[in-house]
Amino acid sequence: MNSSTAIKNLGTGLAVIGFVLLLGYGLYNIFTMESNLVLKVSIGAIVAGILLVLLTLIKEKMSVEDQETERRY
């Protein structure tokens, strides 16, 4: 693994960690403040759906081998 790949992985990791922390903070605030139950359930369903789709796409991307052929010039 070269340094460029390591830097890309570090950047991706930091972005994911930041997103998860921000999402967790937002969900904590929404579910602890006094609001309508329908609002809480709908926001929870939206977040769960987005996470499910993202995890499915990541799993699919990791399991499928790269189909592109290597080009030599």
Domain boundaries, the chain: 1-33, 34-65
Quick one: pLDDT at residue 10?
85
pLDDT surpassing 70 at residue 5: yes
Residue 64 DSSP class: S
What pLDDT, in 10s, does the model give residues 16-53?
Answer: 898 889 888 988 888 788 878 888 888 888 888 988 99
Are the C-beta atoms of 3 and 27 separated by less than 8 Å?
no
Q: Which residue has 């309508």 as its token pair?
A: 36
Q: pLDDT at position 1, please?
A: 61
Rg (CA), the chain: 18
